[in-house]
Structure 1
Amino acid sequence: MPVSPDLAEDLAAAVADLYEGAEQVLIDRIRQAIAEGIDSPTWVEQKLAALGNLQAAIAEVIEALQLDASGAIGQAVAEAYERGQQAAVAELGALGVGQTAAAATALPTAPVVDRIAQAVIADTGPVHLRMLRQSMDVYRDVVSRAAAAPVLGAQTRRQAAQSALDEFANRGVRGFVDNAGRSWELRSYVEMSMRSATARAAVEAHSDRLGAAGVELVIVSQAPEECPLCRPWERKILARTGAPGARSVRVEHATEDGEMVTVEVAGSLPEARAAGLMHPNCRHRVSAYLPGVSRIPAEQPSRGTYEQSQQQRYYERQVRKWKRRTEAAMDEKDRKAARAKVRAYQARIRELTAETGMPRKSHREQLTTAR
């Protein structure tokens, strides 16, 4: 059974759900704190006096999140590694008993799993501090703008508060910057980190198991709507380990003892991964290549373009954004307007998937709220 990042996609999504749920709790806590007594003439004084209580409540939510997330990250990486091992054993099941037995031999997994999990925990560590800081900044901003609005005559206090809450719901907790300098919203950042980690765990486990069975070559599948980073490696044969660079190699036939065959190798798997193959959202699969037996599959047309797949991702983010706006709304009028936006972007997704044949991934349009 081939291995790919989507083998553990559900594991990454489960961890990201924890963070998105916590984000929704923060929005709801801030909304409730702001709405309480908003028509009172002493509202500003009440809100400023309650600042410490709100900070303690938010810190409690984040502390619980941090504890839950650390355990979930370790479990997800361990499960991804196990799935990668199982994929290799299943893939080699049709081979000789000796190779299958070698693939099934226990390998030391704890050091690999711990290394990958600890890297993710360290990477997401600053997230918790930013969640607390931005939540409190938003609360202060809402109070300040709502207090100033009646004086300036531009908006009522309620309108000003709703406007500030809408801005927070639009962007969510964000400001997480990756190595390429790109800024991410909270859920996307955590899911990206987890997809990278679980993909790495699954691919390493699969490769280790193949190596235990004496399989040193792998082949990359073709995937629909492939990105420019992956396209050069599609349908190419790679060395599981070793030096980079294309070359011809003479290897023994997979089933005929003593018979040698020539294989054109495009490079090594580590080289391809360093160049972008198997990135967090990659849909390519890597499977064992058996010299003299495996065949390079014929090229298949894509359903849509990479740009269209990115357009779909944009619409999904907009659906989630307007669902957050629904959560942040302080009255039914604003909730109805936000729901209408949700339906409009979902209609665009339906149109795009119908036009291209790309699958609709409804789970990417959902908010997970832990209340």
Structure 2
Amino acid sequence: MSTLNFKDIAKIFEEIELRLISSLKRNLKRHKAEEQRYGFEWSAWQAEKLKNMENFRRENLDIMNEYVDVIDDQTRQLMTEQFQEGQQQAQRSVQELSDEPITPIPDKHFFGVNEKKMAKLMEDVTTLEKTAETAAMRMTDDIYRQTLNRVQLAMGTGSMTLNEAIDLATKDFLDKGINCIVYADGKRVNIADYVRMALRTTSTRAALQGAAKRFAELGYDTVLVSQYGGCSKTCEPWQGQVYIDDVFTVWEGEKDEFQGKSNYCGEWFWLLSYAVKNGLFHPNCRHTMTQYIHGRTQIPEPIPAEKIKEQRELEQKQRAMERKIRKFKRFAAGTCDPDTAKEYRRKLRQAQQELKAFVEEHNEVLHRDYDKEKYYGSGVDKNVKSDIIKNNKCEITPDKINKFFLKPNAKHSEEFFSVGYKTTDFELLDKDLKACFDYSKAVDKVVSDSGVERFSIFAELGVNEKKRFRTVWQKDTPESIPRIITAHREDER
């Protein structure tokens, strides 16, 4: 399996958010079995939902446990690969500028690299993700309890159906999503948006750290920061400039408060630390840096300020339209009343059409970022695929294959190894399982009182010789995509 990028990992958190919202709806909504058991007696329904609290927690924990390992593993791989890619890009940029063989200057004549920065960066981002996961679980738990209390007040008016009361009680929650991250100033941030920002920032810094390490090894202490249209006001004054890198390396040289003297060319340049202190490389910043070799590197012409402002405003409007789409998807997934949910799906389609038209109108500077619209459930864009859900027919998480089916000593792994699969055959087994999925061939269907459906599909699997396997799938709601639960051999051995 190839390493996921920061957008892919952020999409996992979007998927978690939508599945937790669907779980809330599923556990609050009255099902036919409950109607038969309690009729429309409110007190009995409320008592049953309070008793169901533990089941709700377990279901959400099961949802989260499907992702935590793959999130941690993929984040660590991403940081490592970004660090290595930064080193490789640094090597290439220096080679392109130099006609002579590159001879690194010994550390004692130059400066060392603080390797601890990279290790701390990796630990910080994985700890951040674990904090977000825990906060999301705690928030959905709180929302469940709060919703029961709010529904009780709404039902007391006698003018609402149960579905309408639930939708009224969850309206604020669905409007903002799982905004369980709280900044020091009290501002709340959606979990997926926060993780996307954090991963973009840390993966960029990992690449910068790798580049800086290689620049230092090659004997250069000056870097050129990139420039782009749409740059934020915060770092616009600092883009396209040359700096002494005293941020991503441990630099020792002559300096004053704002500038430093290059150890290899003797010229004075701005200190990178001064630019960073004043806003460069802020969270979500898209700037990178390349090697600057005095006398060889050509500094590009600055982008006109009015052009930067125009593109920045267009991008801000696009981001607002994308947030609106994600909001409608939350309402479509979490609304109990069928007619209201249908109306949200209509609004969703309209918002998507408006975004498409807006991007096409400004296609010289904008492109449509499907990653920021994605919703894993009813209404999946069939043209957009990811490492988590490859198509709209079924869902197989990488963790399910790597941690269960093809992990040595796992419950059924020997059954897969016996037909020729190896521990490294993630892509092959993923392809084979999806090829065998055909809902029309589902057997042994069971639907729980809460609406969760499980079923089996028999498949012929194997590398050299095919054997009969039972694959077990689950649909959390009637509209959701079936996801694989387990698989094992059922032939004569």
Instruction: Give the shorter-chain TM-score range.
Output: 0.7 to 0.9
* Change over 3 Å in CA distance of 1:345–1:93 after alignment to 2: same
Change (3 A) 1:100 1:80: farther
Shift in Å, 1:251: 7.5
Q: 1:183: which partner in 2?
A: 188
State the match for 1:120 in structure 2. 125
TM-score, normalising length: structure 2: 0.64
The farther-off stretch of 73-82 and 164-173 is: 164-173
C-alpha distance in structure 2 between counterparts of 1:178 and 1:198, whole Å: 21
Query: Structure 2 unaligned runs (5+)?
Result: 106-111, 378-387, 389-482, 484-493
Match of 1:25 in 2: 19
Match of 1:155 among 156, 160, 176: 160
Distance 1:164-1:281 versus aligned 2 partners, 3 A rule: same
Q: Does 1:79 align with 2:81?
A: yes
Mean Cα displacement is larger for which, 242-251 or 356-365? 242-251
The alignment partner of 1:238 has SS state of: strand
Question: Which amino acid in structure 2 is aligned with residue 34 of structure 1?
Answer: L
Larger displacement relative to structure 2 (204-213 or 287-296): 287-296
Judge which range, 335-344 or 313-322, deviates more: 335-344
Question: 1:324-355 deviations in whole A, cap 9, x for unaligned?
Answer: 11111334422332123223433443454424
8 Å contact kept, 2:64–2:133:
yes
Query: What code does the residue aligned with 2:56 have?
Result: L
**Corresponding residue SS for 2:181:** strand
Matched residue type, 1:45 = A
Alignment of 1:94-173 (within 5 A): 94=96, 95-96=98-99, 98-99=101-102, 112-173=117-178
| Cα distance in 2 for residues equivalent to 1:203 and 1:346 | 35
Candidates 332, 345, 353, aligned match of 1:326:
332
**Residue 206 (structure 1) shift:** 0.5
**Match for 1:359: what amino acid?**
L
Assess, with a 3 A threshold, how the Cα gap between structure 1 residues 74 and 24 changes in structure 2: closer, same or farther.
same
Task: Say if 1:149 and 1:156, in contact at 8 Å, map to a contact too.
Answer: no
Q: Contact 1:18–1:368 at 8 Å: present in 2 too? A: no
Deviation at 1:75, TM superposition (A): 1.5
Q: Is the 8 A contact 1:85 1:209 kept in 2?
A: yes
Give 1:234's match in structure 2, choosing from 227, 235, 239: 239
Question: d(CA) in 2 for partners of 1:70 and 1:346?
Answer: 32
Give the superposition deviation at 1:53.
1.3
Distance 2:256 2:65 in 1: 45
Counterpart of 2:314 (choices 284, 308, 311) is: 308
Alignment of 1:283 onto 2:270? no
Contact 1:237 1:264 in 2 (8 A): no
How big is the shift at 1:250? Answer: 7.3
Unpaired segments of 5 or more residues in structure 1? 1-8, 253-259
Q: Secondary structure at the match of 1:99?
A: coil
Tell me if the contact between 1:31 and 1:165 (Cα under 8 Å) persists in the aligned partners: no
CA distance in 1, matches of 2:52, 2:64: 19
The number of residues matched between the two structures is: 351
Call closer, same or farther: CA 1:168–1:181 in 2, change over 3 Å: closer
- 2:218 corresponds in structure 1 to 213
Deviates most, 47-56 or 148-157: 148-157
**Higher RCO, Cα 8 Å, sep 6+:** 1
Q: Which residue number corresponds to residue 256 of structure 1?
A: none
Larger fraction in helix: 1
2:375 aligned with 1:367:
yes
Deviations 1:203-227 (A, max 9, x none): 0110111111112211122210111
Map of 1:6 onto structure 2: none
Query: Equivalents in 2 of 1:206, 1:177: separation in Å?
Result: 33
**What is the aligned-residue RMSD (CA, Å)?**
3.1
- Separation in 2 of the partners of 1:349 and 1:82? 36
Q: Deviations over 1:266-299 (max 9, x none)?
A: x222332333222342233311112112222112
Would the aligned equivalents of 1:219 and 1:289 in 2 still touch at CA under 8 Å?
A: yes
Say which is worse superposed, 176-185 or 40-49, in terms of deviation: 176-185
Pairwise CA distance, 1:36:
3.9
Say whether the 8 Å CA contact 1:89–1:209 is kept in structure 2. yes
Aligned pair in 2 of structure 1 residues 247, 168: CA closer, same or farther (>3 Å)?
A: closer
